Amino acid sequence: MKRFELIVGTAIVIAFSTLILSIYTHHQQVIQQEKVELQKSAKKKSLPKSTSKDSGLAGDEIQAATTKSKKGEMNPVNWKKSSEKKAYPDLDKYSKAFLKVSIAKQRVYVMNGEKVLYTMYASTGSHESPTPTGTYKIQAERGDFFYNPTSKEGAKYWVSFKDHGIYLFHTVPTDKNGKFLEDEAEQLGKEAQSHGCVRLAVPDAKWIYEKVPEGMKVEIH
């Protein structure tokens, strides 16, 4: 009887030891797997933020590609043609549309909130007669042609934004007969050379004349 009890006791000890060993082995495997997962996670977090997995381009390359794409939408500067290759925006679809003029860049941006819808080459006021900066609104006055005998220059497709007919968006300048002054026109998008108005390519000015409503905000900086 004692011998039988000894055998049973030994069997129980062996079984218990085997169970403990199995639990310990499984626990070690779990710990090892967690270490592997943590290492993988750490590698992912340590990747440079400028790397794009989908495109295979580094951040600087992505920026360059984006810039190239945006530049690719612009036509070469030509006062006879629209500034961009794409169609002008339909302003009826944009509730936050306004015009933003950049004197530093010699550009007019058709905006909707923070989004640029269209970019136009421009020529703003010279140092002697600068374009006023600030926030204004498109005024009621507009027309298809004017001529100023004092400056001996005129323009087509003009729209007032300040002082009711004094500060305008309009085409590159013309003579009294409506003929464009090509030497002046060639400075579009390159040099601030107007008498305070914002000069534009002929199609761009025509679009503003026809499509931009009275009351639209104008920001100039």
Question: What single string gives the DSSP state of each residue in 134-194?
Answer: EEEE--S-EEEEEEETTTTEEEEEEEEEETTTTEEEEES-B-TTS-B-HHHHTTTTT---B
**What's the CA gap between 121 and 98, in Å, rounded?**
16
- 9 belongs to a structural domain: no
- 26 belongs to a structural domain: no
The total domain count for the chain is 1
- 51 belongs to a structural domain: no
118: Cα within 13 Å, side-chain hemisphere? 20
Which structural domain range is residue 208 located in?
Answer: 88-220
Which residues are within 8 A (CB) of 118 and not within 5 positions of it... i.e. 6 or more apart? 83, 84, 86, 88, 89, 109, 110
- 54 belongs to a structural domain: no
- 49 belongs to a structural domain: no
CATH code, 201: 2.40.440.10
- 80 belongs to a structural domain: no
What is the residue type of 217? K
The reply to whether 170 belongs to the active site is yes
Q: What is the pTM of this model?
A: 0.68
Q: Which of 164, 170, 195, 221 is catalytic?
A: 170
Average pLDDT over residues 116-130: 97
pLDDT at 16: 56
Residue 117 has pLDDT above 50, yes or no: yes
User: Which segment of 3-7, 58-62, 127-131, 178-182 scores lowest on mean pLDDT?
Assistant: 58-62
